[in-house]
Amino acid sequence: MEMEAFVPEQAFEDFQKTVLENNPHANMERIRQAFDFAVAAHEGQKRKDGSPYVTHTIAAAAIAAEMGLDDESIIAALLHDVLEDTDTTYETVAAQFGEDVAGIVDGVTKLTRVQYSTLEERQMENLRKMLMAMAKDIRVILIKLADRLHNMRTMQYQTPEKQLSKSRETMEIYAPIAHRLGVEKVKDELEDLALLYLDPVGYREITNTLEKRRLIMEQFLQEMEKTIEERMAKEGIKCKVYGRLKHLYSIYRKMYAQHLGVEEIFDLCAFRVIVDGLADCYNVLGIIHEMFRPVPGRFKDYISTPKPNNYQSLHTTVIGTEGIPFEVQIRTWEMHMTAEYGVAAHWKYKSGPSGHKEGDEEKFAWIRRLLESQQDSEAQDFYHDLKVDMFDDEVFVFTPKGDVKSLPAGATPIDFAYSIHSAVGNRMVGAKVNGCIVPISYPLQNGDIVSITTSNSSAGPSRDWLNIAKSGEARSKIKQWFKREKRDENIQQGREMFGAEAKRVGLPMADITDPDMLPHILKRMAVQDMDDVYASIGYGGMTASHAVGRIRDEILRNRAPAKKTELEKMQERADRRQQQQKPQKAVQGVLVEGLDNCLIKFSRCCAPVPGDPIVGFITRGLGVSIHRRDCVNYRRDADGGRWIKVTWADETSDYYTAEIHITSDERSGLVMDVATILNGLNARVRSLNARDTGKGTTVAAITLDVKNAEELQTIVNKLQTIRGIQDINRGGI
Ligand code: MN
C-alpha cells in the first residue's frame, strides 16, 4: 500500500486551513498544542492502512471543524482517542486543556466502550437514547459522529466482518442519531457509506445507472438552476439555486419502498432555492408554481410547522419541461444552516471570538427537549407510553446478555428484575451490578450491567419494595403478587377498612348483610361474595370509599320508598357536602357562574374559541349562548341584564368552529392560495367560499374547526402572507 509520508508540519497546515475557513476566530495556539499533544501521544501507533494513527484523530477534528463546532470540540476531537489508546490520563488532559475538554474526551471514550450486538428495533431505540443520555454534553455525540464518519470513509482497509458490523451499527445507531440532531450532511454521508457495505449490489446498481445518466442530469441541473435564478431575478428576488442529485441511500430506499428499478425513479434531482428572508420563501413558491406544474399532494410547509429537529423549509414537487419531476426546497440561509448542521449550527451562529463557555448545561437543555419531543412523536411502543416526562428521567442498563432496558431514573434492581419477568422479581434474593453485589435499593446508573440472583425458596417480595420500586410496572406486579398470595391477609385488612368507611358515612353493616339486599349488592359489584370486595380493598385495587359509595347507592335504589327517607336525608346531606367541595362542572369546556349542567350554545355571530375572552347570554329556553367579549352584540347590549359571567374550563373540548373573513385585491388565484395554506397547516376546514364584490375586491369566508385561539391565530398569520390581502377578521365585530 502506498502512503505519503506523514509530515506533522504539513498536516497541521492543511488542518489549520480547514479550521480557519469555518471559524476565523479559532484559537489556533491552543489547537496547535492539542495537535502536538495528539501526535506525541499516538507516536508509533498505526492504522490498518499503515498510516500513523493520529491522522484519524486529525481527520475527525477537521470534520468537527466543518460542522462548525467550537474550539473545545476541535481540541477534544484531536484528543478523542488518547484516553482509550494511550497512557494519557484524564488528569493530564484536564490539566493541559481544561475540564471541559477532558470531560468531552472522557464522554467520547465511554461511548466507544459500549458494546453493540444486533438488537430488535425497540432495543435499538433504547440504545440510541442511552448513548445520548450518557453524553451529558451534546458535543460528545457530535464528535462521536465525526469519528464514525472518518472511520466509515476509511472502512475499505478493514476486514469484511468489521465492515459489515460497523456499517450496520452506523445505519442503525449513528445515522438515526445524526438525523435526530438534524446534522443531515453527516447523516447522508454515513448512510451512503454504510449502504456500500450492507448492499454492495444495490449500491452499484444505483451508481452505475446514475453514471450512465450523469451527463444528461448534469445538463438538466445546470439549465434548471439558470432558468430559476433568471426568473427570480426578473421578479426582483435575490436568491441562490443549488441543483443536486439526491443522496444514494434516499434513492435506494425509494426503490425498495415502491418496488421500482433505478431507471423507474424519476425525481433523482432536487433543487434548493435559498433566499434572504422569510417572505421571499412564499414568493418563490408562488413563482415556482407558476413556472412548473406542481404535483398534487407534495407541497409541505415545514416553515410554519418545523420538523421536531427544528428543520424548516417549503417543499414542493413540480414537473419540469421534459416531464421530469423534481423536488424544490425553499428556505432562508439561516434555515439552510440548521438543515445542514442541525444542533451544530447553534455554534456557527452564536460562537463569537471567545467561543462559549458559560452556562453550557442550560444551552443544551433545548437540545434535550428537542430530542424528547421527537421521541414522543415517534413513540409507538409501550416504553414510551410509560415514559416519564424528561429525557433525564430515564436510565438505561444492560442485561448480562447485552439487551438494553430503559427504566425510570432512580430505578433499582427491583425495577430491573420485574422488567424482565414477574417471576424473576418475585423470586429475587439479591442483585449484582457490574459484577459486584449491591443492595436492592441501589439506584442504577446508565450503562450498568445488572444481574439478578433468584431463589426458588424465596418468600416473595416484601411490602417495603413498594416504596423502593420506581416503575409503575414493578409496583403493580408486586401488588398483584400480594393480591394472589395474601388473600386472607387482604380480606382481613380490607374488611377493617370497609367497616371504618361505612361507619364514617353512617351506613349500618346490617343493611348490607340483609338477605334481601345482598344479592343486589353482589350483582352490582360483580363479585361472588363480600370477601372479594374486601380482598380488592386490602391489596389496593379499590378504595374503601368507592366500594361503600357504590353499595350505598345500590341499597337506596332497592329500598321501598317508605323506608328510604332516613337514608335519603343522609344521601342529600352527603351530596350537598360534596357539591360544596367539588369544583363546578364544565359543559363543552365552559364554566357558567353559579350554574351546573346548563345548556351551552356557541353563538354563530362571533364563534368564540378557547383563549378568547367570553361572556354568556341567558337565552329563553336555550340555556346560555356564549359570545366573545368583543362581539358586536355584547357591546351593543352589555347593560341588558341578561349577560352572565362565563369562563373557559381548564379542559376544553377537542374542536370549536370558528370563522375567518378575508378581503383581498380582486384576483383569481386567491382561493387556490388560501387552500394551499390551509392544507399545509392541516386545518380542519368545513367550508370555504369566495366571491368578487365587483368593486375591485374579493371576499372569502372560511369556516373551520380549531382547538383554540392560538391555533386560529397561527392560521390567520399565515393567511396574511398571501399576496394582495387587505384584511382578515373573524367576523362578529
Ligand atoms: Mn476514533
Tens digits of per-residue pLDDT, 590-609? 888 777 777 788 888 888 99
What's the rounded Cα separation, in Å, for the pair 690 and 66?
51
The alpha carbon torsion through 228, 231, 233, 237 (nearest 10 deg) reads -80
Whole-angstrom Cα distance, residue 442 to residue 346?
Answer: 38
Output the pTM of the full model: 0.55
pLDDT at residue 377 tops 50: no
Cβ atoms of 600 and 626 within 8 Å: the answer is: yes
Q: What is the pLDDT of residue 587?
A: 78
**52 CA to centre of ligand 1 in angstroms:** 13
How far apart are alpha carbons 662 and 384 in whole angstroms?
Answer: 43
Identify which of 483-497, 573-587, 615-629 has the greatest average pLDDT. 483-497
Partnered with residue 406 across adjacent β-strands are: 396
For residue 624, pLDDT over 90 is answered with no
Largest CA-CA distance found in the chain, in angstroms, rounded: 108
* Band of pLDDT at residue 385, cut at 50, 70 and 90: very low
d(C-alpha 86, C-alpha 54), whole Å: 11
Separation of CA 155 and ligand 1 centre (Å): 13
Distance 425 CA to ligand 1 centre (A): 40
Q: Look-up: residue for cell 352589555?
A: 638
| Residue 294 parent element (H or E) | strand 293-294
**Residue with more model confidence, 107 or 563:** 107
Tell me how far apart the alpha carbons of residues 332 and 321 are, in angstroms, rounded to a whole number: 26
- What pLDDT does 557 receive? 79
Instruction: Give the span between the Cα atoms of 100 and 137, in whole angstroms.
Output: 10
| Residue 276: alpha-carbon gap to chain centroid | 29
With b meaning 16 or more CB within 10 Å and e meaning fewer, what string describes 634-647? beeeeeeeebeebe
Contact 429, 465 (CB under 8 A): no
Query: Taking 90 as the threshold, does the pLDDT of residue 95 lie above it?
Result: yes
pLDDT digits (tens, 9 = 90+) for 629-671: 888 888 777 777 778 888 888 887 778 889 888 888 887 777 7
Q: Which residues contact 578 (CB under 8 A, 6 or more apart)?
A: none
Nearest-angstrom CA–CA distance, 404 and 355 = 37
Model pLDDT, residue 116: 63
Strand partners of residue 311:
none
Query: What is the pLDDT at residue 19?
Result: 93
Give the distance (Å) from ligand 1 centre to CA of residue 198. 22
Q: At residue 379, does pLDDT exceed 60?
A: no
**Predicted pLDDT at 575:** 63
Say if CB 691 and CB 640 are below 8 A apart. Answer: no
Give the Å distance between the CA of 32 and the centre of ligand 1: 19
What whole-number distance in Å separates Cα of residue 624 and Cα of residue 611? 19
Give the span between the Cα atoms of 309 and 373, in whole angstroms: 9
Ligand 1 centroid vs 253 CA: distance in angstroms?
A: 29
- Strands, sheet with 436-438, edge to edge from the N-terminal-most edge strand: 436-438, 428-433, 450-454
Residues facing 644 on adjacent strands: 616
Residue 362 has pLDDT above 60, yes or no: no
Average pLDDT over residues 466-492: 85
pLDDT at 467 over 80: yes
Mean pLDDT of 197-210: 90
Summarised one tens digit per residue, pLDDT across range 718-733 is 888 888 888 888 876 6
CA of 117 to the centre of ligand 1 (A): 19
The pLDDT of residue 57 is: 96
The length of the chain in residues reads 733
pLDDT band at 713 (very low <50, low <70, confident <90, very high): confident
**Among 620, 553, 616, which Cα is nearest to 586's?**
616
Ligand 1: centre distance to CA 491 (Å): 63
Q: 85 an active-site residue?
A: yes
Question: Cell triple for residue 510?
Answer: 346490617
CA 99 to CA 87: how far, in whole Å? 18
Give the pLDDT band of residue 545 (cuts 50, 70, 90): confident
Distance in Å, CA 47 to ligand 1 centroid: 11
**pLDDT tens per residue across span 17-42:** 999 998 888 999 999 999 999 999 99
Active-site residue among 13, 14, 21, 84? Answer: 84
Least confident range from 60-64, 208-212, 652-656: namely 652-656
3-state secondary structure 40-62: HHCCCCECCCCCECHHHHHHHHH
Q: What is the pLDDT of residue 364?
A: 42
Residue 711 has pLDDT above 90, yes or no: no
* Cα 360 to ligand 1 centre (Å): 24
Output the average pLDDT for the chain.
81
Contact, 243 vs 300, CB < 8 A?
no
Q: What percent of the chain has pLDDT over 90?
A: 26
Pairing of strands 624-628, 600-602: parallel
Catalytic residue from among 85, 327, 360, 705: 85
Q: How far is the CA of 150 from the centre of ligand 1 (A)?
A: 8
